[in-house]
Structure 1
């Protein structure tokens, strides 16, 4: 019901716009644009000016011709002559030309091109704006910014239709044109203020918008009054106001962009700027500036208005879309295409000017038009080339798909492979299948340059290896010669593993796609081989642990790092999926409870809601324990105080804690390790110790950080606690202490409690006091 009421006013505005548009379309259809200005000299009505785009120009009406009658009546009685000193909305005209009386019937000649400029383009533009408005209304998008956007689309959309009627001196069309010129940019400014407020961005204060509406209303009234006073010849106030407002919007957007160019909101502003300039710049560059400089446009004003549709589309995209395109990528790609197109166009035009003797050389506008067509064609082809190639790739590059399948097959097959022999055999097979080679061989080059077949494990002689041996230190470099190519894949203990392939006869040169495929699969293979070597090295070191039962510190640190990373990922997944789903379900229950009158059912829903929220609270506690994100925000001391509060609430023992004021370590990994150690000690006390008292002290003395823990629980036999690596329990505490280069002393016996002291050297780390 609320949305229905909000939609009434936009619907009324749209219907009023449709009625006005139908009237102005009717005026445009019935009356060709004549384009003849007249002046009264004595009793005669003389042609003063003939528009370059109108019926008068096409029918050879010239300045100085005498108007004898309009619609077979006194020309001075025609209302457009009387009010505007121009001839419009006339059916016939009689002129005295070169002492000869000529009678003209004013009508369109077939499907006149003015139908396209004054009717087809404007109607398509208006229907597009109306369609966008209807789309927003059907979606019931009645937020403050969307409602303003609907008003903007209706006012802006009718502008081109009203311009056609206004040029024919239709009073309604003239009034609507003035209204659109004055209020379009004010509505745009209002929309941007509302839209950016949604993103907490400051664009302009609402008071200034209200002032703009007031000033715009005064400008509109003044412009309408000024039209009735023919003796005053001033620049149109509405156009002056439009220009000032346009400059103001540009200043505000520039300021907003500079303030947010380092934030995630930058792309929103870039999309807006792109839509705004893509709409108006063609009119300025192709019509306004050439007309001022050369008194002749590169493109008719009516044709440049085609680009106006980009502004409504960009505004719709901002309002509706939840994901935005990467404008920086688009701009960089477009800049690259424009640069290449400019160079290519310059070469073509210079060559054209040097080698042609056409009359076009004397017409700067024609040269500019030709340059524009070439430049635009090059830019479009370059920009959309990738997409066209992608759509036609199956026909243009049928084998390229085979290469993609080959890479996918190779990676899928080898991703779990742990034996180098099978990995290299897979590479050899792919090379032989996809490249023009007769044979591919994997060779191991010894330190004395003797060659062994890697897969067959026997010494061989291969003539293609000679060039490679001289430069075998460049791993991954493809060496080509007349018989084939060779690639060093890896080096270990002075021995090189080399891929050798012989060209198939007659030799065929590798295409660019084949070259890229070969380099890619070689790079993948090198990475896999390097990983296998590293795994072998780690496994070799781990195999020695059976003797001394001691995990190297660097492996301990690595495993702890992996453990924390997985904890973090799990916490994020739980928070972003299950927890959010639970909260969303609770909100839906809230909405449904407002629609139900059954008290018992409401109570049931309320109990269900409370249960869901309880589970959400538990899940939030779990995610916090998995990944204490607050640790980096609050620091170690505040995080521990929060942990101690939870322990005091949940523990069944007396807990005494003492924290020094300067216990914060700047190194985040060590800070997290200390938090985990204390967390594990207290969890063990709650779950296993059966203690009645627990004491924990954390303090700094000189360059040492001390953690002392004592409880009176059941204790344990510390000497028999040795076990494989774990991130939990006493073993986990031990490994974490080793990971931060600390020392651990434990004193515990069965039935005599548990004592632990951890000392961390702080001298090598900076401290935050």
Structure 2
């Protein structure tokens, strides 16, 4: 029963997003349906001699088509006499209406107007269509982030921030219509998104190891603003005359929180000079610039804006997505690559769009506002065209770039072919064969010049060279990968060391011309070949040292001694760093506290101060004991392996948020070193589970085998890609593999994104033949789950 409760809590904790998504979908769907069902008009009124006159309609173009103008007298709204609507008295605006009856002030004509939601295109576009698109985009991005970056506090806050900004934007229409739910959601989400941003910045400061510059108790920032705004919103629904007052209050609170965010980023950047904070600051300021320069300043100076406030406000919605670029660099995608490629598209598109607009202005007589629309449409269309053209060109590259096949595929096959050779002579011969085959040129060879004997050898048996011919080739100043064309052949530098210089020669006989794609393929291949030669030389040198190892006075190689010494020094440095940052700092703090007690003038409360110092000393001693146990588990020598593992698992139980299922068989091992090895394996596996797995269930089993033992591990956590384990320089996985390999054991691991991780280790103590170890990467059967 208790385990079921733990599983339920862990399930809710790890599936918090689905609760947020459900709330988001319910509220968003309701708000969009409210916005679509009733047209928003926004017609301002004023009372004069008991009549309500129109001051200014919000949608002027639609109003002109319906013969609505300033000075017209409103008589009825949705069949109700306007004087009977109390809301108009303290909020003189016709916000929503499906039916209007008004008196034209010019000709005295009585007009009865029916209004449908789609009658006002601007209202449909800016209040319904664009918010609906942003609503779906935010949902897709949130699900994508959740899938790619599970259980990351920064990503979780960023996801909630995106959803909250989206709700604030979607609720504008319903809030403007004075819908109760829309009003509460709009005001609350406006404040909540900034509170989430402050929380995000706090965690980001900690992530960058910077001191946080604001309130540490983040709960206060959530409780105070949100409780006040929510209470005021509900109060304004009950008492509508307070609606305007509380709207102004919400805007002021929004402005104050925004200033706090600017202050945190500005002060943080000026104090720490961290580029990440500069990027954050620019990502918040930049979306405000279009509103400032395209609407506010032109409206103030020229009384005519370039872009309307509705369009300029759309740039503010880029703020959440700018944080994705700043936060997820190199995690989900290569941001630098996309920015560089976008800059490339931007330059071409901007230049051509300006040229197009100059031509249109010269040929036609278009208004400035119309030219602006054409500019944005053409500019964005060209960027999209370049992007899709690049995608299509990549898929059609066989037709566009080569009549002989796909050069990328040929590169892979060539590298795979020459990479299988283990001797330099065979490597050069295989390289010549591949180049001759793919370029369809028979006269391809490698010249090797010996600096000591000044002899020239070639991979071609039919070609002989004089010294003068070779001087011309060898004196060419070629950099690595460069290819130059001479009168009779192409030459390229391959490799050079203290003994030899190697050059590729391709005879073209004035009749063969290599295309740019072929030269690029050859250039990349030369770079790989140079690395292959260097690696092959290193392997040959190591094999030569091992071959003559027994002849040396010392049984160990110099490079091996150096490697071991460096590993020992690295371990000592890490231990010293840990002790310096923890135990030493605690001891210094205790010493300062004791110094304060010794030199205190007032002798009151001495007992309480000494008690506090005593508690600090006990905590420091417990930390020191923990370090000693990690370095050399005391129970391992006194009570044996089973007792030491039981204590280790008890420690993990106290810290773990997952359900731990384990089995420990009693082993009878002749080699006592295996006990320490098993303990270290358990220690590393459980530490990885605590730090990285984010699992609900973790299983670890120590099982007795016929001539040894097995360790089976399984978790249902987030897992990772097998390629990342193979390529990563992870001391954890690599350390376990080295320990198992040292005892001629077998180590198998399987993992994938979202599939958890399973590891099986098998050691045969009776095996006397020393092997190179076993290290495969394939699926091992999941161990049977036994409850502890």
**1:218 to 1:606, Cα distance in 2 relative to 1, 3 A:** same
Q: Give 1:295 shift.
A: 4.5
Give the CA deviation at 1:51: 0.8
* Aligned equivalent of 1:40, options 44, 47, 57: 47
- For residues 133-189 of structure 1, the C-alpha deviation after alignment (integer angstroms, 9 at most, x for no partner) is 9999999x9999999889867765543343212323445534543343344423443
C-alpha separation in 2, matches of 1:386 and 1:146:
31
Picking from 256, 259, 263, the partner of 1:247 is 259
For 1:239 and 1:392, the matched residues in 2 are separated by 53
Work out whether residues 36 and 47 of structure 1, in 8 Å CA contact, stay in contact via their aligned partners in 2.
yes
Corresponding residue of 1:341: 346
8 Å Cα contact 2:41-2:95 kept in structure 1: yes
Please list, as runs of the form range in 1=range in 2, the aligned pairs for 1:392-403 lying within 5 A after superposition: 393=397, 396-397=400-401, 402-403=406-407
State the distance in 2 between where 1:136 and 1:469 align.
55
SS in 1 for 2:464: strand
Contact 1:38-1:49 within 8 A present in 2 as well? yes
Q: For residues 602-751 of structure 1, what are the structure 2 equivalents within 5 Å?
A: 617-618=676-677
> Normalising by structure 2, what TM-score?
0.57
Q: Where do 1:573-612 residues align within 5 Å?
A: 586=649
- Aligned partner of 2:521 in structure 1 is 517
Q: In the alignment, what sits opposite 1:180?
A: 189
Find the aligned partners of 1:92 and 1:200 in 2 and give their Cα distance: 61
Any conservation in 2 of the 1:35–1:53 contact (CA below 8 Å)?
Answer: no
CA displacement at 1:432 relative to structure 2: 1.7
Query: 1:99 maps to what in 2?
Result: 107
1:32 offset after TM fit, Å? 0.9
Could you say which residue in structure 2 is the equivalent of 1:236?
A: 248
Q: Secondary structure at the match of 1:47?
A: strand
Alpha-carbon distance, 1:456 to partner: 1.5
Q: 1:406 to 1:465 in 2, by over 3 A?
A: farther
Which residue, out of 476, 485, 504, partners 2:490?
485
Equivalent of residue 165 in structure 1, options 171, 174, 179: 174
Cα shift readout 1:496-523 (whole Å, capped 9, x = no counterpart) = 6543323388544422x32222122223
Distance 1:543 1:595 in 2: 51
User: After the TM superposition, which of the residue ranges 441-450 and 113-122 deviates more from structure 2?
Assistant: 441-450
Superposition deviation, residue 338 in structure 1 = 3.0
Give 1:67's match in structure 2, choosing from 67, 71, 74.
74
1:205 pairs, out of 215, 219, 233, with 215
Does the 8 A contact of 1:35 with 1:51 survive in 2? yes
For residues 218-617 of structure 1, the aligned pairs below 5 Å read 236-255=248-267, 295-296=304-305, 298=307, 301=310, 305=314, 308=317, 311=320, 325-326=330-331, 330-331=335-336, 333-334=338-339, 337-338=342-343, 341-342=346-347, 345-346=350-351, 348-349=353-354, 352-353=357-358, 356-357=361-362, 363=368, 365-377=369-381, 393=397, 396-397=400-401, 402-415=406-419, 417=421, 419-435=423-439, 437-443=441-447, 453-456=458-461, 459=464, 468=473, 471=476, 477-489=482-494, 497-503=502-508, 507-511=512-516, 513-529=517-533, 557-562=558-563, 586=649, 617=676
Tell me which residue corresponds to 2:36.
Answer: 29
CA distance in 1, matches of 2:667, 2:325: 37
Structure 2: distance between partners of 1:72 and 1:530: 89
Distance 1:172 1:151 in 2: 20
Native 8 Å contact 2:325 2:335 kept in 1: no
Render the CA deviation track for 1:540-589: whole Å, top value 9, x for unaligned: 9999999x96799xx953343356579999999xx9xxx9xx99994799
CA contact (8 A) 1:80 1:169 kept: no
Q: Which moved more, 1:518-527 or 1:379-388?
A: 379-388
The answer to whether the Cα contact below 8 Å between 1:32 and 1:107 also exists between their aligned partners in 2 is yes
Q: Rate the CA distance shift 1:317–1:388 in 2: closer, same or farther, 3 A.
A: farther
From the superposition, tell whether residues 616 and 353 of structure 1 become closer, same or farther in structure 2 (CA, over 3 Å): farther
Give 2:764's aligned residue.
none
Any idea what SS the aligned residue of 1:88 has? strand
Q: Distance in 1 between matches of 2:510 and 2:133?
A: 62
Aligned to 2:59: 52
Aligned partners of 1:279, 1:185: CA distance in 2, in Å? 15
**Separation in 1, partners of 2:130, 2:38:** 17
Partners of 1:148 and 1:235 in 2: how far apart? Answer: 26
* CA pair 250-377 structure 1, distance change in 2 beyond 3 A: farther
User: What CA distance in whole angstroms lies between the structure 2 residues aligned with 1:216 and 1:143?
Assistant: 25
Match of 1:485, SS state, is: strand
CA separation in 2, counterparts of 1:404 and 1:13? 44
Whether the aligned pair in 2 keeps the contact of 1:37 and 1:48 (CA below 8 Å) is: yes
Q: Per the alignment, in what secondary structure is the counterpart of residue 102 of structure 2?
A: strand
- The alpha-carbon deviation at position 337 of structure 1 amounts to 3.3
Q: Report the TM-score, using the length of structure 1 for normalisation.
A: 0.58
Alignment CA distance shift 1:559-1:382 (3 Å): farther
Q: Shift in Å at residue 400 of structure 1?
A: 9.1
Residue 562 of structure 2 aligns to a residue whose secondary structure is helix
Q: Deviation of residue 98 (structure 1)?
A: 2.6
Give per-residue Cα distances to partners, 1:264-301, cap 9 Å, x unaligned: xx87x799779867987777777667766764463663
Equivalent-residue separation in structure 1 for 2:489 and 2:140 (angstroms): 63
- Looking at structure 1, the residues matched to 156 and 456 of structure 2 have their Cα atoms a distance apart, in angstroms, of 78
Q: Distance in 1 between matches of 2:163 and 2:343?
A: 34
Task: Flag structure 2 segments of 5+ consecutive residues without an equivalent.
Answer: 575-629, 631-640, 684-788
**Is the 1:464–1:500 Cα contact (8 Å) retained in structure 2?**
no
The 8 Å contact of residues 294 and 305 in structure 2, kept in 1 or not, is answered as no
Following superposition, the deviation at residue 38 of structure 1 comes to 1.4
Tell me by how many angstroms 1:85 deviates: 1.3
Deviation string 1:234-259 (CA, Å, 9 cap, x unpaired) is 99232232122123123324555677
Distance 2:28 2:300 in 1: 32
Preserved CA contact (<8 Å) 1:477 1:488: yes
Structure with max Cα Rg? 1
Question: Cα gap change, 1:313/1:423 in structure 2, threshold over 3 Å: closer, same or farther?
Answer: closer
CA contact (8 A) 2:418 2:431 kept: no
Say whether the 8 Å CA contact 2:118–2:124 is kept in structure 1.
no
C-alpha displacement at 1:119, in angstroms? Answer: 3.0
SS in 2 for 1:437: coil
Q: RMSD of aligned C-alpha atoms? A: 6.3
Give the CA deviation at 1:33: 1.5
1:49, distance to aligned residue in structure 2 (A)? 0.6
CA distance in 1, matches of 2:455, 2:430: 24
Question: Does the 8 Å contact 1:283/1:301 carry over to 2?
Answer: no
Say whether the 8 Å CA contact 2:353–2:379 is kept in structure 1. Answer: no
Identify the residue that residue 214 of structure 1 maps to in structure 2: 224
Whole-angstrom distance in 2 between the partners of 1:218 and 1:538: 73
